[in-house]
Chains A and B, each alone.
Chain A
Amino acid sequence: MSARGPFRDKPQDKVLIRVEALALSRGGRVLFENLSFAAAPGDYVEVQGSNGSGKTSLLRAVAGLLRPRGGVIAFEGAEEPSLALHYVGHANGLKREASAREHLRYWTGLFGGSASEDDVAQTLEIGRVMDLPVRVLSQGQARRLALSRLLIAPRPVWLLDEPVAALDDAGKAAVNGMIASHRATGGLVIAAVHEALGPAPTKTLQVRR
């Protein structure tokens, strides 16, 4: 994958994330306390930790989907906060009965994107299955479709939870290429992973109590 893409027709916001003294809990149990880090445009932050340590919760908190117990999460430089980030979580956010193309069209409306569906499909190599309902896709194909959200509408910050789960080598290479081209244009990526992705992270966060 080259680091260029058809989706970068205009420069995007340069967003800096600052997290200070973050404390998270789930179901009354404290996951971690006093986590601080900063991430600048172009950074790739890898979040590591054992099962249940709070990697997913950290990403959800940064995405604004989970209210922290304490601490500060600040996005600096985002002109329009609602256009600051994409989050691809464990759950793919797909409907079994809708086709891949219908999903891309829906996300285009939901997120206000302008990318061409076919270009997105080509990058993630899902062109062959665009008109099939999700229920007949393989795990890996469904994951690729979920990741295609990242390209549908440009967002400076990508929050990825196990992005390459269920992906084959070609899929991993495609994701690494997407991350590289995103960083090259000033994007910021935070990914929770079990095994390191391809690129060397600018920062590694160990999440534990």
Chain B
Amino acid sequence: MSAFAATFRRELALMWAGGGAIAPLGYFFGATMLVPLAMGPDRALLETAGPPLVWIAAALSVLAMLERLFQADLEDGSLDQMLLSPAPLEVIASAKGAALWVAIGLPIALAGAPVAIALQAPVERVPLIVASLALGTAAFVGVGLIGAALTASVKRAGVLLALIVLPLFAPPIIFGASVASGEEVFAAFSILGGCALAGAALGPIAAAAALRLQAE
């Protein structure tokens, strides 16, 4: 088994043991279901404001999972072992990112369907919203790897992590919300795909560089 496969499998098992997607999904549902309560049952208002709010909730759900991503590895000595593996740290970081996306990103994307319907998105747009959330959460995870790596040695890193990561969440949120409200769907989708690819390609590289410094 390659280092990528071994890391991917272990991370999935650890996330599963830690409750899997239950906590982030609960967060995602909870946050989005508060929206109609706060805005009132005005259908026209929900139709315009609701679907983009799915994206805010998705971004925050991913953010909530980032803090311990590398911090735990640094504290328990696992990071040293990753650094000593013959596989590049970039590969190991991307395996961790891939596992996080499968464990958290995909379930959130799928949960986007009922949530979007509840927030009055037109039914024919729901598959698009799910697909765009799948891309968007991949971009969030890619950026999140960097933030998690930079703050791995910081105690109570949550706020700092949010400060680093949230501005970088802006592009996928802008274009994701554009898909969700049905404007310029094709163009927004392409850019969202670009964000996901950039995150998947650059996130592990930058994260590995940050982790090498943290290990000292």
- A residues contacting B by CB (< 8 A) are 63-67, 80, 82-83, 85-87, 89-95, 97-98, 102, 105-112, 149
Report the separation of the CA atoms of residues A67 and B83 in the bound assembly, to the nearest whole angstrom.
14
B17 within 8 A of A: yes
Known: A63-B84, A65-B215, A67-B216. A102 touches B13 (CB 8 A): yes
Contact of B80 with A110 in the complex, beta carbons under 8 Å: no
The 3 closest A-B pairs by CB, nearest first: A109-B6, A91-B77, A93-B77
Known: A65-B215, A95-B14, A98-B13. A111 touches B86 (CB 8 A): yes
Within 8 Å CB of B78, what residues of A? 93-95
Within 8 Å CB of B42, what residues of A? none
Q: What is the chain B residue whose CB lies nearest that of A134?
A: B76
The smallest C-beta distance from A45 to any residue of chain B, in angstroms, reads: 19
B82 is contacted by which of A80, A90, A92, A110 (Cβ under 8 Å)? A110
Residues of B contacting A: mostly: helix
The smallest C-beta distance from A203 to any residue of chain B, in angstroms, reads: 24
Known: A89-B77, A93-B77. A109 touches B13 (CB 8 A): no
Known: A92-B77, A102-B13, A110-B7. 4 other contacts (CB 8 A): A65-B83, A83-B86, A95-B78, A109-B7
Report the separation of the CA atoms of residues A64 and B83 in the bound assembly, to the nearest whole angstrom.
9
What are 26 sample pairs from A and B whose C-beta atoms fall under 8 A apart?
A64-B83, A65-B83, A82-B86, A86-B84, A87-B81, A89-B77, A89-B80, A90-B77, A93-B76, A94-B78, A95-B14, A95-B72, A95-B76, A97-B17, A98-B13, A105-B1, A106-B6, A106-B9, A106-B10, A109-B5, A110-B7, A110-B87, A110-B92, A111-B84, A111-B86, A112-B86
Q: What is the chain B residue whose CB lies nearest that of A66?
A: B216
The residue in A92, A95, A107 that gathers the most chain B C-beta atoms within 10 A of its C-beta is A95
Known: A98-B17, A106-B10. A111 touches B76 (CB 8 A): no
Within 8 Å CB of A108, what residues of B? 1, 6
Report the separation of the CA atoms of residues A106 and B3 in the bound assembly, to the nearest whole angstrom.
8
B167 within 8 A of A: no
Within 8 Å CB of B6, what residues of A? 105-106, 108-110
Contact of A91 with B3 in the complex, beta carbons under 8 Å: no
Within 8 Å CB of B14, what residues of A? 95, 97-98
Contact of A94 with B76 in the complex, beta carbons under 8 Å: yes
Contact of B1 with A109 in the complex, beta carbons under 8 Å: yes
Known: A91-B76, A93-B80. A80 touches B86 (CB 8 A): yes
Within 8 Å CB of B84, what residues of A? 63-65, 85-87, 111
Report the separation of the CA atoms of residues A108 and B6 in the bound assembly, to the nearest whole angstrom.
8
B183 within 8 A of A: no
Contact of B10 with A102 in the complex, beta carbons under 8 Å: yes
Known: A66-B216, A91-B80, A98-B17. A111 touches B85 (CB 8 A): yes
Q: What is the chain B residue whose CB lies nearest that of A149?
A: B81
Within 8 Å CB of A105, what residues of B? 1, 6
Contact of A110 with B13 in the complex, beta carbons under 8 Å: no
Within 8 Å CB of A97, what residues of B? 14, 17-18
The smallest C-beta distance from A27 to any residue of chain B, in angstroms, reads: 10
Known: A82-B86, A97-B17, A112-B3. A91 touches B75 (CB 8 A): yes
The residue in A87, A91, A102, A105 that gathers the most chain B C-beta atoms within 10 A of its C-beta is A91
